[in-house]
Amino acid sequence: MPSVQTYRGTVSSADLGVTLIHEHIFVRNPELERNLPDGEWSASECAEAAVRGLAELYDLGVRTVVDLTVPGLGRDVALVAAVAERVPVNLVAATGWYTPDVLPTFFQFHGPGRPIDGPDKLVELFVRDITTGIAGTRVRAGMLKVMTDVAGITPDVARVMSAAAVAQQETGVPITTHSHPASRNGLLQQAFLTERGVAAGRLVIGHSGDSEDLEYLRELMDNGSTIGMDRFGMEHVLSDERRVRTVAALVELGYADRMVLSHDAAFYSHVTPPSWRARSAPRWRMDTISRRIMPMLRGAGVGPDAIEQMLVRNPRRLLEVGQ
């Protein structure tokens, strides 16, 4: 049977249920924490907040949350694993590297044709995280995460994306992206990765819900990929009403089978700490789809089958590996 790796081990994809496919448990920066501490970060208190929040999600019907916190965003698999052991929701880990422009200096010196010649350390990291375990644990990644933003596909970003393409084809896990819809760069991501052998159907162009350009969004889906309508509650970027309107329009056009819904939220973020979120983005929470967006979608004419398609069947198809 097709299966998915979670923090607690392998599960059948049939058991994923309602899935939030683009979220974060904790977004951190350990070096900053040591040298410029954030008084809002406490490992024990933030872990308790995550346990409460995930238990609440389960009560709302959510069964799986994909944590797309990868290196570059302060991934701490041991801390999240301790949370995962205490909650009924499936948590899925991810691998990849988050950089909008340059990699750490280490990678400038290590790799094929570099001063310290040898295999690409990024490929080694990604494949090990997926097939063996992350950072010496038994937790295996179930998704790859890459990004391009305003800077575009810089040489280092290209290196990350190329390594992810290799790892995807070796392991079968899907790739999701952080894209910059204002520059329509999801199309560049799609072309870059498919030219390197990634099947378009194994690719999610993330943050596409920041765009209301139906022509752009349809082109991504017509090319074979899924789009992430994954920032509900991030109303400081675009209102939920406008996001819902775009999803409803695309459902009406027959694209429910190529969209996934999520929030890109976190229980703690060093970049946008809880006090700022509570004040400036109070709906940017993982319960917003359950409590607010699903009724709004129904009110916009989106039927229950389409909602299940976007929250259950599409994530299941993307995440499952093996037959």
pLDDT tens column, 234-260: 999 999 999 999 999 999 999 999 999
C-alpha dist (Å) from residue 57 to 20, 99, 280, 293: 10, 30, 22, 14
Predicted pLDDT of residue 1:
79
Q: What's the whole-number mean pLDDT along residues 215-231?
A: 98
Task: Please give the model's pTM, rounded to 2 decimal places.
Answer: 0.97
What is the percent of the chain where pLDDT is above 70?
100
Task: State pLDDT tens for residues 157-166.
Answer: 999 999 999 9
Q: What's the whole-number mean pLDDT along residues 224-237?
A: 98
C-alpha dist (Å) from residue 30 to 1, 71, 269: 39, 11, 12
Predicted pLDDT of residue 35:
96
Q: What's the whole-number mean pLDDT along residues 188-216?
A: 98
Average pLDDT value over all residues in the chain: 97
Question: Tokens at residue 205, please?
Answer: 């162009």
Q: Where are the domains of the chain?
A: 3-319
User: Which letter does DSSP use for residue 258 in this model?
Assistant: G
Residue type, 202: R
Which among 132, 89, 118 has a CA at the least distance from the CA of 290? 89
Predicted pLDDT of residue 322:
73
Return the H-helix or E-strand segment holding 24.
strand 18-27
Place of tokens 């992810």: 164
Task: State pLDDT tens for residues 84-94.
Answer: 999 999 999 99
Asked whether residue 191 carries a pLDDT value surpassing 80, the answer given is yes
State the Cα–Cα distance between residues 256 and 248, nearest whole angstrom: 9
Give the CATH class of 3-319: alpha beta
State the Cα–Cα distance between residues 134 and 73, nearest whole angstrom: 15
Task: State pLDDT tens for residues 110-168.
Answer: 999 999 999 999 999 999 999 999 999 999 999 999 999 999 999 999 999 999 999 99
State the Cα–Cα distance between residues 274 and 148, nearest whole angstrom: 26
Phi, psi of 22 (to 5 degrees): -145, 85
Predicted pLDDT of residue 80:
98
